[in-house]
Amino acid sequence: MNAVATDTTKAPRTSKDWDMAAIAPFVALALLLVLGYFANPNFVSVANLTNVITRSAFIAIIALGATYVISSGGLDLSVGAMVAFVASLMILFMNSGAVADPMLMLIAAMMLALILGAACGLTNGLITTVGKIEPFIATLGMMGIYRGLTTWLSQGGSITVRDRELQQLYRPVYFGDVFGVPIPIIVIFVTAALAAFVLYRTRYGRHVIAVGSNEEVARYSGISVQKVRTIAYVIQGLCVAVAVIIYVPRLGSTSATTGILWELQAITAVVVGGTALRGGVGRIWGTICGAFILEIVGNIMLLSNFVSEYLIGAIQGAIIIIAMLVQRTLMRK
């Protein structure tokens, strides 16, 4: 790897090291599975793992969008509130009886969720790009707005799907399976495969990485930085909508507290997965891995007796810090 013409004044950094950083989360996941086995042999049962992965679906899918936003150099704190907001409107629409046929109603509601998600993402994107407001502040503000609107829509309580027939029809989207594989797991992998294709194989994906890596270089290369970033927020919104579509049938209702702190979990999954928070590196499968790690840690704590499950938050916090330390060590070599 040591080329002749390298700039020797800087520490040589070869593509090999980057590969190490990419593999790290998967190694961590494998270690966690081994640890889980010793904590409680039931942990590695197919039933338990399937269950855990299914539950990670919401965060995993939201985190896919966050991977785009973060690797383009942005940040979206509003996703948790956006879940609650989009879900509330979706249920209100289903309760409105605007479409008589339950099947058509369900399809229309799902389309509506996607449109709302995209619109919310577009709003976030335009405020940060055209409005030139720091993503942290812009999406912090939008978080308050989405959350506040949800609380108002639900009048502080919850919003429930009223139509029984519709509920029954919708239930399998979360609880159903295809050849034994739960639908949420299928959704995770299909969405991730699509996200990976777009990020790694298309012109837009290359532009996302370029913009996050160095905005000026992108601009001087004729790339519209604003457009690339705005689209990343729209993708984030669409991912939130997909998460909502599989979330709503789980309980059949939402409340003002739906999705609280999900934004932090999504960001954690992204960072644990090896995506750089400063932008320029995006790892789709790493993100999925990060989401699994978060859920599995919680599950191991529940199944074992070493640590109180009330400490889950603290452990997750420790994970993100450890992940950052590992990442930095790997990249510094």
Q: Which is nearer to other proteins, 10 or 332 (CB)?
A: 10
Q: Which is nearer to other proteins, 55 or 206 (CB)?
A: 206
Site string for other proteins, 277-296 (x = CB under 8 A): ---x----------------
Cα–Cα distance between 129 and 41 in angstroms, integer?
A: 50
Question: In the complex, what is the shortest distance from the CB of residue 59 to other proteins, in angstroms, rounded to a whole number?
Answer: 28
Strands 253-255, 181-182: pairing kind: unpaired
According to CB under 8 A, which one of 47, 100, 180, 220 is a site residue for other proteins?
220
Q: Which is nearer to other proteins, 9 or 155 (CB)?
A: 9
If phi > 0 it is left, if psi is from -120 to 50 it is alpha, else beta; for residue 261 that is left
Q: Where are the beta strands (DSSP E) in 96-219?
A: 158-160, 177-178, 181-182
Closest to 131 in 3D by CA, of 74, 85, 83, 77: 74
- Phi/psi for 60 (5° steps) reads -60, -45
What letter represents residue 330's amino acid? L
Q: What contacts 328, CB < 8 A, 6 or more positions away?
A: none
Return the residue matching tokens 């450890």.
322
Question: In the complex, what is the shortest distance from the CB of residue 273 to other proteins, in angstroms, rounded to a whole number?
Answer: 18
22 binds other proteins per the rule CB under 8 A: no
13 binds other proteins per the rule CB under 8 A: yes
Question: In the complex, what is the shortest distance from the CB of residue 279 to other proteins, in angstroms, rounded to a whole number?
Answer: 11
329 binds other proteins per the rule CB under 8 A: no
Return the residue matching tokens 């090291």.
17
According to CB under 8 A, which one of 45, 221, 305, 329 is a site residue for other proteins?
221
According to CB under 8 A, which one of 14, 42, 96, 305 is a site residue for other proteins?
14
Q: Which is nearer to other proteins, 30 or 194 (CB)?
A: 194
Give how far Cα 157 sits from Cα of 146, 151, 252, 310, Å. 15, 7, 14, 26
What letter represents residue 78's amino acid? S
Q: Which is nearer to other proteins, 7 or 101 (CB)?
A: 7
Site string for other proteins, 167-206 (x = CB under 8 A): ----------------------------------xxx--x
For residue 289, give both structure tokens.
């891995």
According to CB under 8 A, which one of 3, 46, 47, 100 is a site residue for other proteins?
3
Cα 119 → chain centroid: 18
Site of interaction with other proteins (CB under 8 A): 1-10, 12-15, 201-203, 206-207, 209-210, 213-214, 216-224, 280
